Structure 1
Amino acid sequence: MKWAGWGSVVFIFYFVVVNFSVLEQVDFQLGFNQWLNTILLVGITEEIVFRGFILRKLMDSFRFWVANAITALLFVSIHFPIWFYKDMFGFPYVLGSILNVFVMGIIFGFVYKKSNSLWSVIILHSLYNLLVTVFY
């Protein structure tokens, strides 16, 4: 849980500094569906699939960093339908989104390896989704 705690501090600090000092855009009006789907269920289900299953299986055949990169690329690929659905697939936006999701996938895999706990990654992922929902 140490990794979840430190990662949470970093995420919160980043979002608060960037959004209050640069963007000044915050929306605390979250509906039940956003809480349940985006924040709770997505973090749990995506981490069980990607870090709990895919990354663990790939580490049987590859070194950690190769397995983590493959998992992060697969993690990016599941976000494409969301970007299409929300009409966020424009050229400049999608490159930033791809890079962001890939980096988050790498970070989540690293935290999973260091903590050896799926719960720490689930907490980080859910917190990240909460911060994205509130600040964007």
Structure 2
Amino acid sequence: MTTSVLKRASAEPLLVFTAVALPVGWVLLSIPLFADLPVEPFILGTLFLGLVLPTVLLTRPSVKRLLVDTVRPPRPLWLLIPAAALIPVVTGVLTGADLTTFGFTNVLSSLLIINLWEEMAWAGFVQRRATARFGYVPGSVLTALLFTAVHLPLAFYGSGVAHNVAVMIVSGIGLRLLIGAFDVWGRGSILALGLIHATFNATGDLVGPADDRVRYAVTFGLGLIAAFLVTRRAGR
């Protein structure tokens, strides 16, 4: 789908997507808070019912292309290396974590089960349309805010709701800026974007709760660097 088509068609699909994703996320992710149930099945329910299903239905004329983008490697192929390594390596170096304990098996399973399809919705559908309509940085920020809004009930798990929301927004903006940049550099490969998201999540296990703030700061910082590179190139 060309940028001009996205610009003409972006507003209404984004509103419809939001109208579906928000209530599905709020209802499903709130159930474990009150029913003492594990949250993981409800995260999967939110993913496939609230994100993937509306994405597929709203992109029916071009859903085949979106699915191809989802599994297609980036061009150039070596971009998979920084996509996989940037967040865990920089975070590990700053915290002194043992990078040999990084869970690549967990990354692969998370990528195949969750993050590929999550980014098909967030990056391939929402962020591309928001970027085409509002620009790279505003579109990335808007996508991060929508992501936070859909997952808002997760902020109530544990203590410090305001802190949890702030962390979701800050790290989300950094992640979206980084993902938006790799979407450009990798020529639309969602596989690379899902890998970034999967390694971001897995880095939390690498450093543990005590150093998790470093992971968030690193993600935000990498996002700002990526934004500088993308906007500088666009300026030229």
Q: Could you state the TM-score of these two structures normalised by the residue count of structure 1?
A: 0.71
Percent identity over the alignment? Answer: 18
Select the residue among 118, 121, 124 that pairs with 1:52: 124
Q: Distance in 2 between matches of 1:95 and 1:42?
A: 23
Q: CA deviation at 1:93?
A: 4.6
1:101 partnered with 2:101: no
Q: CA deviation at 1:35?
A: 7.7
1:17 partnered with 2:89: no
Q: CA deviation at 1:80?
A: 1.8
Contact 2:155 2:161 in 1 (8 A): no
Q: CA deviation at 1:53?
A: 0.8
Output one character per residue of 1:81-122: Cα deviation in whole Å (capped at 9) or x when no partner: 2222x2244334542342112211221122112212111111
Paired position in structure 2 for 1:82: 154
Question: Which structure: greater helix fraction?
Answer: 2
**Greater relative CO, 1 or 2 (CA 8 Å, sep 6+):** 1
1:75 maps to amino acid: F
State the secondary structure of the residue aligned to 1:61. helix
Q: How has the CA–CA distance of structure 1 residues 76 and 109 changed in structure 2, closer, same or farther, with 3 Å as cutoff?
A: farther
Q: Distance in 2 between matches of 1:93 and 1:131?
A: 17
1:46 maps to amino acid: E
Q: Distance in 1 between matches of 2:95 and 2:145?
A: 27
Paired position in structure 1 for 2:205: 133
Structure with max Cα Rg? 2
Q: Distance in 1 between matches of 2:80 and 2:162?
A: 33
What's the Cα RMSD here? 3.2
Q: How has the CA–CA distance of structure 1 residues 53 and 88 changed in structure 2, closer, same or farther, with 3 Å as cutoff?
A: farther
Q: Distance in 2 between matches of 1:28 and 1:12?
A: 8
Q: Could you state the TM-score of these two structures normalised by the residue count of structure 2?
A: 0.45
